[in-house]
């Protein structure tokens, strides 16, 4: 079985055919998907999709959604809403993490002070509710790690990781798995491929970030790009094909790759094991 540890099934791109997307994923062998929320309006959507299709979900405030908050009062209200939603779902086995949370130092013009405040507060909520976290890491690894060191024992997944080897090892040392997806397939992604090759096997999980980060076979021809079609929609059904690159880099076959990454996902998100009919493996994985 494959697990897509990060899939935005609640995104508008999937509104017309979410059930068909899930069916295609399952036909491809993707037995479970984790649906992270991005803002408070997204909470009921990810919960409804998870329950409708037998999936897992996470609740959190994405750093790119924070500039929509008008002021500090709105920021506090959003955090209070997250706290209340986590409390209300405390008995829901499909709630497996707080996420997607983190810091984005790539997009210009964002309020970094606000991002850091809200990130730190969400780590506190994760600790209070006993949940791991799904981290947005974009040119922000050191700042993320600074706060994680103040909250030892949280664990979770650093989603779409593309930092240095030293930063990667720091996340692993704190009990985190690192998410690899469509970006790994690009032949020029040399640093990312080096990470996927050299990290401990226990550190690797797979994701699509669908509908985003499409693998190269979903990109359009030049004439299509000229017409405004940069790429096709990524889907969780693409995960097994993405995994072929990880298998080649590690010298694994498909079955070993599925076994390693599934076990790692269950260790990083222990509640996920119950949804898969298994016990969580030890964490960290030996």
Q: Residues of the chain with pLDDT > 70: what percent?
A: 94
Please report which residue ranges of the chain form alpha helices under DSSP H.
18-27, 43-53, 72-88, 112-129, 141-148, 165-173, 190-198, 222-226, 239-250, 254-268, 271-275
pLDDT tens figures, 18-53: 999 999 999 999 999 999 999 999 999 999 999 999
pLDDT beyond 80 at 221: no
Q: Indicate the pTM of the whole model.
A: 0.94
Q: What distance in Å separates the CA atoms of residue 271 and residue 46, rounded to the nearest whole number?
A: 16
More confident residue, 232 or 250: 250
Paired sense of beta strands 176-180 and 156-159, if any: parallel
Name the residue ranges covered by the structural domains of the chain.
2-275
CA dihedral 244→210→158→66, nearest 10 degrees, is: 170
- Using 50, 70 and 90 to split pLDDT, how confident is the model at 286? very low
Does the annotation flag 136 for ligand binding? yes
Q: Which pLDDT belongs to residue 159?
A: 98
Paired sense of beta strands 56-59 and 156-159, if any: unpaired
CB atoms under 10 Å from CB of 284, counted, come to 18
Q: What distance in Å separates the CA atoms of residue 172 and residue 156, rounded to the nearest whole number?
A: 10
Give yes or no for a contact between 186 and 216, defined as CB atoms under 8 angstroms apart. Answer: yes
pLDDT tens figures, 45-91: 999 999 999 999 999 999 999 999 999 999 999 999 999 999 999 99
Q: What distance in Å separates the CA atoms of residue 48 and residue 65, rounded to the nearest whole number?
A: 21
186, two tokens: 């690009």
* CATH number corresponding to 2-275: 3.20.20.140
- Using 50, 70 and 90 to split pLDDT, how confident is the model at 154? very high
pLDDT beyond 50 at 131: yes
Q: Which pLDDT belongs to residue 281?
A: 74
More confident residue, 162 or 221: 162
Does the annotation flag 6 for ligand binding? yes
pLDDT beyond 80 at 98: yes
Give yes or no for a contact between 159 and 137, defined as CB atoms under 8 angstroms apart. Answer: yes
- Using 50, 70 and 90 to split pLDDT, how confident is the model at 282? low
pLDDT beyond 80 at 143: yes
Does the annotation flag 111 for ligand binding? no
Closest C-alpha among 276, 239, 245, 196 to residue 7: 239
Write the secondary structure of 165-188 as one string of H (helix), E (strand) and C (coil).
HHHHHHHHHCCEEEEECHHHHCCC
Please enumerate, as own/partner, the contacts of 66-73 that have beta carbons within 8 Å and a separation of 24 or more. 66/110, 66/111, 66/114, 66/115, 66/118, 67/110, 67/111, 67/114, 68/39, 69/114
Q: What distance in Å separates the CA atoms of residue 14 and residue 68, rounded to the nearest whole number?
A: 23
pLDDT beyond 70 at 283: no
Name the one residue in this structure whose structure tokens are 């002070």: 113
What phi, psi does 228 have (nearest 5°)? 95, 5
138, two tokens: 């974009």
């Amino acid at each position: 079985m494959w697990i897509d540890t990060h899939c935005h099934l609640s995104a508008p791109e999937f509104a017309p055919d979410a059930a068909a997307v899930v069916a295609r994923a399952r036909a491809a062998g993707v037995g479970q998907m984790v649906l992270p929320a991005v803002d408070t309006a997204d909470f009921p959507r990810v919960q409804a999709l998870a329950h409708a299709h037998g999936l897992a979900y996470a609740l959190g405030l994405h750093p790119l959604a924070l500039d929509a908050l008008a002021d500090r009062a709105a920021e506090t209200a959003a955090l209070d809403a997250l706290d209340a939603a986590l409390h209300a779902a405390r008995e829901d086995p499909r709630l497996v993490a707080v996420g997607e949370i983190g810091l984005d130092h790539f997009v210009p013009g964002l309020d970094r002070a606000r991002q850091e405040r809200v990130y730190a507060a969400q780590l506190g909520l994760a600790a209070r509710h006993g949940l791991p976290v799904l981290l947005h890491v974009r040119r922000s690894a050191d700042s993320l790690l600074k706060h994680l060191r103040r909250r030892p024992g949280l664990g979770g997944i650093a989603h779409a990781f593309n930092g240095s080897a030293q930063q990667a090892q720091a996340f692993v040392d704190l009990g985190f798995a690192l998410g690899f997806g469509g970006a790994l397939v690009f032949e020029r992604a040399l640093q990312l491929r080096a990470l996927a090759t050299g990290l401990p096997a226990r550190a690797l999980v797979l994701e699509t970030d669908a509908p985003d980060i499409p693998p190269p076979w979903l990109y359009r021809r030049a004439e299509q790009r000229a017409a405004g079609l940069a790429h096709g929609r990524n889907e969780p059904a693409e995960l097994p094909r993405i995994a072929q690159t990880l298998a080649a880099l590690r010298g694994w076959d498909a079955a070993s790759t599925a076994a390693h990454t599934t076990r790692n996902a269950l260790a990083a998100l222990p509640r996920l094991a119950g949804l898969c009919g298994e016990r969580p493996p030890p964490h960290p994985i030996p």
